[in-house]
Every structure is written in structure tokens, then in C-alpha cells.
Structure 1
Amino acid sequence: MTIEINATIRKAQGTGASRRLRNSGRVPGIVYGSGDVAMIELDHNDLYYKLRDEAFHASLLTLNLDGKKESVLLRDFVMHPFRQQVQHIDFQRVDATHKMHKKVPLHFLNEEIAPGVKTGGGKISHVMTELDITCLPKDLPTFIEVDLGKLELGHSVHVSDLKLPKGVEIAAHGTHTAEAVVVTVQVPRGTVEAAAEATAEAAAAPAAKEAKK
């Protein structure tokens, strides 16, 4: 699926110009990377709804800038502190021949049938929700699946356990090592406390009987 977004060159610059742009239903932005930096503007409503789509954040995008199309990645955007308004957005041009670094979301499958949950009474704890990867633009996945169908109580899935798509690698300068925990099935706290109390009561029972004699 190709996601395309339309933009035009932004002629007026500065704080005042950006404020007037936002008041007119437009969003100021910038495109950088190979070539000249381009100051752009986009339709707010179109951009706002695209930002609500997870794929928009982790896909190769087609930017139609005044009729000229180029491949870009979303790099950053700023929202108003309390309004549903996009204040600014950054895109980076993509070189098809060079590997890039990107964070992609993790999709967790079969949580409800994981043995640690279904029969063990555990709860899923998501330590990570996205992963730092490197790949060529053509190999960029919109998400990475994490299958929890065989996860037992007290066990975890580590970064090294993930099945990465062809051409995708863990980012060497990312925050995740191979043994970093992605997700785990934890014993509910109440269950642990109840078991501890039962053990304590069982240990105290013989002493109580001796005291009654």
C-alpha cells in the first residue's frame, strides 16, 4: 500500500507566518535529506487523519510536492498542548540505495491463547511496543509480529527470538540488545501474595499445635 501526501512550497516563513498558516487550516513543515531543504505546507485535516494511521508512522511515504513526487519518511511532528491540532511536521528524503534507521511498531498475536495466560492465570506485560531496525527502504515493514501462542507463565520473548522480515536487522545503535525482553507473562501479584501467605500458614501450623498441648 502506497501512502501519498500532498504539499506545496511554503513561501512565507517566521513565527507570525506559521501562526497565520495554522489559522487558515494549513500546517508548516520541512523536508530535508539529500538535496536542498524544502519549507512546505500541508492541509491540516488530511494530515491529522493520516497521523492517526499507524502505517503512516512506519512506512515509506510518497510526498507530492507541487507535482513532483519523492520518497520520504516521517521523522517528527508537534501537536498543540491541548488542541487536536498539528503544529509542525518533518519529513526526510530517502535514498533507495542506502540503509536507513527507523522505529517500527510491534504487533502481538495470540495473547489470549498463550498457555501462561489461558491455563496459568498470568498477565501479559509489554516491555517494548516498537523496535529499532535498519534496512533498505524497499524492505521497510510497517510492523513486526510477535507470536505469543506458546508463551508459558514466567517466560519471556527476547529481541533475539523475533522473526525479522528479509533484509531487516536490529539497529546496532538502537536501545535494544539481543537479550532485551520484549514481552513476558507475569504471575499476578495477588496470586503470589496468596501463595506466600498459604506457605507461611502451613509453616506455622505445627508450632501452633505444639503450643496447644
Structure 2
Amino acid sequence: MTEFALSAQLREESGRRASRRMRRGERLPAVVYGGGEPAQSISLEHREVAKLIEDERAFSHIISLKTDGAAQDVVIRDLQMHPYKPRILHVDLQRVKAGQQILVHVPLHFVGEAECVGVRLGGGQLHHILVEVEVSAPADRLPEFIEVDVAKLDKGQTLHLSDLQLPAGVTMPALAHGDDKAVVNVSAPRGAAEEAPTEEGAA
């Protein structure tokens, strides 16, 4: 497994003014909470966080957070972005321990698209309805992604959450609540459902 790490500094100042000064200095405010310990207000280097999240696996991996020489394991719980600039405004990090069951969103990786029966032979169009799913898994066994094989998907067919193959120990809360969302489907070719013109007035 790839190791992900961040370096943090404890911060004493809080509030909007302090946060604005921090961001002007290319750092961003963040908070660490959970694990039965008090929440900590910290600051992170914006460039370091921006580089980290370029890898989608960072959102479903344990991150080693080093603060004043001490390290703790965390996961990204929330990321606040600027509404129109490529800037991170705030990060929420949750402490985790090996074996602890946690919820994370993991990306879906679609495979077999070039061989998809409904597209290649049926002339249909493949539609990705979901690009990520929420899973529950032990913190030390978080999947980096969930693979979705669409090679045998025919036109008019849909794959749902219940059709996905999950690693051992990984579950999807949505299914426990009866919410079997559609993940991907193949629509019929445009115009295929149109009825043939009637021959009114034919002898």
C-alpha cells in the first residue's frame, strides 16, 4: 500500500481573520477529531495537501499526520474548496485506529468498456450513473477502489450496487437500508424505440 503523509502545525489562533492570514501565507486551517481525544486545530501547507489529493486514493487511505514530532493516523473526512478557484479552504481529518470500522467514499473503476456487448454489438451508449460509493470497512483494510466490469452488459441492462463485488470485510450501508442504487447502464440506440409509421387508409 502507498504511504500517504502530511505535516501539520498546531495553531492557537482561530476565526476568519486568522484563517485569512494563514491562507495568504500558503497554509490552510484544518481540524483533527475523533479517537476519543480532544479536537485539535492545526494548519497544513496548501501545496502539500493539493499534491496529496491529486491521487484519488488519498481519500480512501490512512494518512500519517505528523504534528510537532508526533504522528497519528487519520482519514480525510471533509474538504472545503473555493467556489471557483482551485484553492482548498479547510480540511477535516478524523483519527482512526487499525481495525476500527469507518465510512469512506471510494471511487469506482469501470473495466471492460471497449468490450461492452451493448455498445460494441448493440450500438447502445454506456452511462456512468455513479462514480463513487460509500463503504464501511476496517481502517487498515480500506479498498482503494471498487472495480465494475461492464464487458457483458447488454443494451437495456443496468448494474446496481448489489451487483458489485466487494473485498472481504467491506459492506455498503446503502444496501443495508434497501437503497440498491443504479451504478451503470447501457441505453438503447437513439430512435430504436420509435414505432414504425402506420399505413392508414391502406386497402
TM-score by length of 2: 0.92
State the match for 1:186 in structure 2. Answer: 187
Counterpart CA distance in 2 for 1:131 and 1:176 is 15
Which of 99, 103, 106 in structure 1 is aligned with 2:105? Answer: 103
**Contact persistence 1:139–1:166 (CA under 8 A):** no
Structure of higher CA gyration radius: 1
State the match for 2:118 in structure 1. Answer: 116
User: What whole-Å deviation, never above 9, does each CA across 1:61-115 have from its counterpart, x for those lacking one?
Assistant: 1111122111111011111222221111110001323211111111110112110
Higher relative helix content = 1
- Structure 1 residues 151 and 136: alpha-carbon distance in aligned structure 2, compared to 1, 3 A threshold: same
Q: How does 1:123-134 map to 2 (within 5 A)?
A: 123-134=125-136
Any unmatched runs of 5+ in structure 1? none
- Structure 1 residues 99 and 173: alpha-carbon distance in aligned structure 2, compared to 1, 3 A threshold: farther
Counterpart CA distance in 2 for 1:188 and 1:91 is 46
- Structure 1 residues 148 and 79: alpha-carbon distance in aligned structure 2, compared to 1, 3 A threshold: same
Counterpart CA distance in 1 for 2:79 and 2:177 is 22
Q: CA deviation at 1:175?
A: 7.1
Q: How does 1:86-165 map to 2 (within 5 A)?
A: 86-165=88-167
Q: Quick one: percent identity of the two aligned structures?
A: 36
Any unmatched runs of 5+ in structure 2? none
Q: How does 1:4-83 map to 2 (within 5 A)?
A: 4-34=5-35, 35-83=37-85
- Structure 1 residues 112 and 165: alpha-carbon distance in aligned structure 2, compared to 1, 3 A threshold: same
Q: How many aligned positions are there?
A: 201
Matched residue SS, 1:168: coil
Matched residue SS, 1:169: coil
- Structure 1 residues 184 and 28: alpha-carbon distance in aligned structure 2, compared to 1, 3 A threshold: same
Counterpart CA distance in 1 for 2:111 and 2:66 is 35
RMSD of equivalent CA atoms: 1.8
Q: CA deviation at 1:165?
A: 0.8
